[in-house]
Structure 1
């Protein structure tokens, strides 16, 4: 295995860990995006409120798309329905 293969493998591992982290902490990330948007809106005295809200919405959507949500125990990962109670 060459150096590039090793780097690609490590990059894949890092992406997976970042995705899991984003899934576990998506509420906190969303709150931080809202807080940053509010600070920017205040600093610009409301001049760009619509654009800031749109950007914050897009950012939260991107986090949700990237994030792996933690699965409930016993849930299959292959797309098949889980056990019924």
Structure 2
């Protein structure tokens, strides 16, 4: 079972969002937040495709 399958299975609950946030934090940590906006955009797209849309404020 791949990571996207895990997200799909847990998308309706908070655990999927927690996993998504943890992945985002880990990537930002590894890249020194150099690609923070790109990582956030990718996270939003993946969550949207999996039905995990959140209301997020626009970031500058």
**TM-score normalized with structure 1 length:** 0.45
Query: How many angstroms apart in 1 are the aligned matches of 2:36 and 2:19?
Result: 17
- Is the counterpart of residue 62 in structure 1 residue 49 in structure 2? yes
Cα 1:60/1:26, change in 2 over 3 Å:
farther
Cα 1:37/1:23, change in 2 over 3 Å:
closer
RMSD: 2.5
Q: Which has the higher contact order (CA 8 A, sep 6+)?
A: 1
Residue 35 of structure 1: CA displacement?
0.6
- Secondary structure of the corresponding residue to residue 51 of structure 2: helix
Q: How many residues align?
A: 46
The match for 1:48 is 35
Unpaired segments ≥5 residues, structure 1: 1-17, 66-85
